[in-house]
Copies of this chain bind each other. A is one copy, B any other.
Amino acid sequence: MSKTAEWIAVDWGTSNLRAWVFGPDNTLIARLGSDHGMASLTPDAFEGILLDLIGPHLGDATTPAVCCGMVGARQGWQEAAYVTVPCTPPGAREATYVFANDPRIAPLILPGLQQTTPADVMRGEETQIAGYLAEHAVFDGVLCLPGTHTKWVQISAGEIVSFRTFMTGELFALLTGSSVLRHSVQTEGWDDAGFADAVRDALGSPQNFASRLFGVRAETLINDMPADVARSRLSGLLIGLELAGARAYWLGQQIAVVGDPILSRLYKVALYQQGVPVALADGDAMTLAGLKTAYKSLKET
């Protein structure tokens, strides 16, 4: 028999849904997931999808479901308006409460963040930031959250001061999956030296980015560059270009990289090349810590 949830933590992104079911005293009862991401759903579908997933764990009482991510976008379940930086990481007080047809759940969606100048937005990462700051209360410096849309976030005195987004991960996915480079980078292999050289090249002369991309293809065609080198080089060109643009965020700053461990390691290596040491934290763990912090703030309101 399944145990009854006290609350549910939900990370509902563009392409995936993940839920953690907690009993009393934050005991983890179940870790659930599905590929019903926000992008594949119309607003009226969200409640049923969530109930299908967590239903077995619901009791007679109304169970809060604390959600973060693209579920709160305009095309999501219900829009959760952005909070504008500078601000502390948003919690239950700033959440949008969704009316559910099933009385067993009370969903709330944490808002994303926006910045007016230069215009920028995030949804989901603010919860990872909240988690990181809950575990590192005295952190003053910069968080880097690598991914599809990598975020660089300046933190001071517990506040999110400013941030900047780079489309690095999405460019990598498009270039490896759909561009002419796809013929050159089909491998699971990796080459540290190819990555390091490319980071250096891109940091040194970012203006050559679009020609260096084609250079990866040309090196394959006429100099038989191996696929693992080509793939590592492409990754290095993208991360190096990002580091060139994010220089003000990492130069002379205390840095923590919060994300997928494999991707985070690449940022660590690239920044270490520049003489910048970084701390690492697991992105999923920080998402969960942020959702727990939001649930705690819900109980205190």
Q: Give 7 closest A-B pairs by Cβ, nearest first.
A: A207-B244, A206-B207, A119-B218, A166-B210, A165-B214, A207-B245, A208-B245
- Establish whether residues B165 and A247, one from each chain, have CB atoms under 8 Å apart when the complex forms: no
Query: Which of B114, B206, B222 contacts A206, CB < 8 Å?
Result: B206
A185-218 residues with Cβ-Cβ distance < 8 A to B are: 205-211, 213-215, 217-218
A189 to B164 Cα, complex, angstroms: 28
- Establish whether residues B119 and A215, one from each chain, have CB atoms under 8 Å apart when the complex forms: yes
Residues of B within 8 A of A45 (CB): none
Residues of B within 8 A of A238 (CB): 210
Chain B, Cβ-Cβ closest to A183: B75
Residues of B within 8 A of A210 (CB): 166-168, 171, 238, 241-242, 245
Residues of B within 8 A of A180 (CB): 149, 167, 170
Mask of A232-264 contacts with B, CB within 8 angstroms, 1/0? 000000100110111100000000000000000
Return 25 A-B CB contacts under 8 Å, by A number. A114-B221, A114-B222, A115-B218, A116-B222, A118-B215, A118-B218, A119-B221, A119-B223, A120-B215, A121-B217, A149-B180, A164-B211, A165-B215, A166-B210, A167-B211, A167-B214, A174-B179, A205-B245, A206-B207, A206-B209, A207-B244, A208-B245, A210-B241, A210-B245, A211-B242
- Interface residue count for A (Cβ, 8 Å)? 44
Verify if A301 is at the interface (C-beta below 8 Å from B).
no
Residues of B within 8 A of A211 (CB): 164-167, 242, 245-246
Residues of B within 8 A of A22 (CB): none
Residues of B within 8 A of A247 (CB): 207
A157 to B238 Cα, complex, angstroms: 38
Nearest CB in chain B: distance from A79 CB, A? 11
A16-72 residues with Cβ-Cβ distance < 8 A to B are: none
Verify if A135 is at the interface (C-beta below 8 Å from B).
no
